[in-house]
Amino acid sequence: MSIDYAERIPNNVELASNRTLQRALEHWQPEFLNWWKEMGPTDFNAADVYLRTAISVDAKGWANYGYVRMPDYRWGIFLAEPEPDRRVGFGDDFGKPAWQQVPGEYRSALRRLIVTQGDTEPASVEQQRLLGHTAPSQYDLRNLFQVNVEEGRHLWAMVYLLHAYFGRDGREEAEELLVRHSGDADKPRILGTFNEPINDWLSFFMFTFFTDRDGKFQLKSFAESSFDPLARTCRFMLTEEAHHMFVGDTGISRVTKRTLEVMRELGTDEPEAVRRAGAIDFPTLQRYLNFWFSSSLDLFGSEASSNAAAYFANGIKGRPDEKKYEDHLARATSVELDVPDGKGGIRIESVPLRNAMNEVVRNSYVEDCMRGLGRWNRLIEAAGHAFRFSLPSTRFRRTIGNWANVATDPAGQPISQAQYDAQIASWLPSDADRAFIASLMVRVVEPGKMAGWIAPPEKGIKDRSIDYDYVRLA
Ligand SMILES: [Fe+2]
Ligand SMILES: [Fe+2]
411 CA from centroid of ligand 2 (Å): 28
354 CA from centroid of ligand 1 (Å): 26
260 CA from centroid of ligand 1 (Å): 32
Ligand nearest the Cα of residue 237 is: 1
Ligand nearest the Cα of residue 208 is: 2
100 CA from centroid of ligand 1 (Å): 23
397 CA from centroid of ligand 1 (Å): 25
Q: What is the pLDDT along the chain (474 residues), one digit of tens a residue?
A: 455 777 788 999 999 999 999 999 999 999 999 999 999 998 999 999 999 999 888 878 888 999 999 999 999 999 999 999 999 999 999 999 999 999 999 999 999 999 999 999 999 999 999 999 999 999 999 999 999 999 999 999 999 999 999 999 999 999 999 999 999 999 999 999 999 999 999 999 999 999 999 999 999 999 999 999 999 999 999 999 999 999 999 999 999 999 999 999 999 999 999 999 999 999 999 999 999 999 999 999 999 999 999 999 999 999 999 999 999 999 989 999 999 998 999 999 999 999 999 999 999 999 999 999 999 999 999 999 999 999 999 999 999 999 999 999 999 999 999 999 999 999 999 999 999 999 999 999 999 999 999 999 999 999 899 999 999 997
- What is the CB neighbour count within 10 angstroms for residue 445? 11
How many CA atoms lie within 13 Å of 268's alpha carbon, on the beta-carbon side?
Answer: 9
418 CA from centroid of ligand 2 (Å): 37
Contacts of 210 (CB under 8 A, 6+ apart): 248, 289, 292, 293, 295, 296, 369
Contacts of 174 (CB under 8 A, 6+ apart): 24, 28, 118, 159, 162, 163
CATH topology of domain 85-472: Ribonucleotide Reductase, subunit A (1.10.620)
134 CA from centroid of ligand 2 (Å): 20
- Beta strands 346-352 and 334-340 are antiparallel
Q: Are 364 and 320 spatial neighbours (Cβ–Cβ below 8 Å)?
A: yes
CA 143 to CA 271: how far, in whole Å?
Answer: 29
- What is the CB neighbour count within 10 angstroms for residue 20? 10
CA 147 to CA 201: how far, in whole Å?
Answer: 13
Q: Is 383 exposed, middle or buried (0-12, 13-18, 19+ CB in 10 A)?
A: middle
How much is the pLDDT for 320? Answer: 97
385 CA from centroid of ligand 2 (Å): 33
Ligand nearest the Cα of residue 248 is: 2
213 CA from centroid of ligand 1 (Å): 10
141 CA from centroid of ligand 2 (Å): 16
Angle at 116 between CA 115 and CA 117, to 5 degrees: 90
- What is the CB neighbour count within 10 angstroms for residue 348? 9
Angle at 14 between CA 13 and CA 18, to 5 degrees: 110
368 CA from centroid of ligand 2 (Å): 16
How much is the pLDDT for 59? Answer: 79
39 CA from centroid of ligand 2 (Å): 17
387 CA from centroid of ligand 1 (Å): 33
CA-based radius of gyration for the chain: 23
